[in-house]
Chains A and B, each alone.
Chain A
Amino acid sequence: MQKMIAVDRLARPDEHIMVPVERIREARIDQGLLANNVMPFEEDFLKGRLHGIATGEMQAMEAAGRTLFDFPDAPWEFQLDMARQVWDESRHAEIFSKLLEYVGSYIGEFPESEILWSCTQVDDPACRVAGINRGLEGLACDVFEQIIRMGQKMGDPIIERAVDYVLADEITHVRMGSKWMRKLTEGDPERLQRAQQFQDNIDALFNFEGFRTSKEEAPQVPLMLGSQQIDFDATLTISRETRLLAGFTDEEIDRLMKAAARSSAY
């Protein structure tokens, strides 16, 4: 079986639309929107966000499986962790597809970005876990914490608890990523640096041009969700407490916050 399956070879049903993230961003710019991602104040925020997560979970499942296959000589414990992650992500994909139904959406209502799968194009397991487990699942920790708060404000225990349940797993995935990034690069500082650089590139891709703040600093704006209006964040937030639980250091979180703030000055 072929290793490093290219993005345009990722199997999907015919009635599914996959678009490179640069194209999705271009489509947003063409419509006068912020390039990076659906923002809390946009009409389709909840549906769009849940859709992005559902397809992300699917790709995370596929990517962990590919990592298992692509690196047969990796330590047995690493393979076991990747196998466990496949199982976790498959549950998450089911949970989010059900949540999509719950909010009146479905897989395929929005295009699927191939950003997570693109991380599997790197031929080093240390980079993969740095990019996927630490970069993208670290981002998921922030995003999930925000949706949990949104569920609480909406008085919706289904969303709040379902996402909280998944967040518990994501925290372990980040920890797993940190552990393997360090173990796989032991005695090879250059390789560690490459892995960290790979993660930095992923983090930079999602700093949202300054529309990312701590949850404490997020300005509150009125937001319509179905028939109800709530006051909610105008930004995508970074959750220090969740990231600390996931094993990021204060220094790493500070660096992320600074990068997000710095990009707003551009």
Chain B
Amino acid sequence: MLAATKHILELLAAGRRAELEALAMSKAAGELRELIDAIAPGVYERHQIIAHAKANNHYYVKARLFGARATPFTLQLRLGEHEGHWAIWEAVNLSGGRTAWTR
């Protein structure tokens, strides 16, 4: 799960939309699109997984992207296995909120 998250964070930082969309459940497509749109591609060089919490067999993961000339970007994903791979079930931009889920 953590390896899958790292891969997703790299794709997000690079703005690789098609590859990300292939990893998302259809219900998460809209949220993922909004998240990708909010992240300027090529600006963030590294990432950090801040927290993860279990929801039965799914996991919420909170992560942050860092770039030398950008404000850190915080996001939260819900990942769960689907057809043998980790898929994105929820994707939310947490930047601007304190630490909780921003609605």
Contacts and interface: CB of A to CB of B under 8 A. Distances in A.
B51 A17 contact: yes
Contacts of B21: none
Contact of A23 (B54, B56, B90, B97): B90
Contacts of B55: 24, 27-28, 31, 110-111
Given A12-B100, A30-B80, A17 B56 contact: no
B99 A19 contact: no
**SS of B interface (majority):** strand
A24 B54 CA distance: 11
Contacts of B50: 14-15
A31 B57 contact: yes
A17 B62 contact: yes
A16 B80 contact: no
Q: Chain B contact residues (Cβ within 8 angstroms of A): what range? A: 20 to 34
B100 A42 contact: no
A8 B98 contact: yes
A31 B80 CA distance: 9
B56 A28 contact: yes
Nearest to B25: A30
Chain B CB within 10 Å, residue with most, of A19, A20, A26: A19
Contacts, number: 79
Given A17-B60, A31-B80, A111-B55, A12 B90 contact: no
A108 interface: yes
16 contacts: A7-B100, A8-B101, A9-B97, A11-B99, A17-B62, A20-B101, A23-B101, A27-B80, A27-B89, A31-B55, A31-B56, A31-B57, A42-B56, A108-B53, A110-B54, A111-B55
A108 B52 CA distance: 8
Interface of A: 7-20, 23-24, 26-28, 30-31, 33, 42, 44, 108-111, 114
Chain A CB within 10 Å, residue with most, of B52, B55, B80: B55
Interface of B: 27, 50-58, 60, 62, 76, 78, 80, 89-90, 97-103
A107 to B, nearest CB: 10
B100 to A, nearest CB: 4
B54 A109 contact: yes
Contacts of B103: 7-8, 20
Given A12-B99, A27-B55, 6 more contacts: A7-B100, A9-B98, A15-B62, A23-B101, A27-B56, A44-B54
B47 to A, nearest CB: 14
B5 to A, nearest CB: 13
Given A17-B76, A31-B80, A33-B56, A108 B51 contact: yes
A9 B60 CA distance: 19
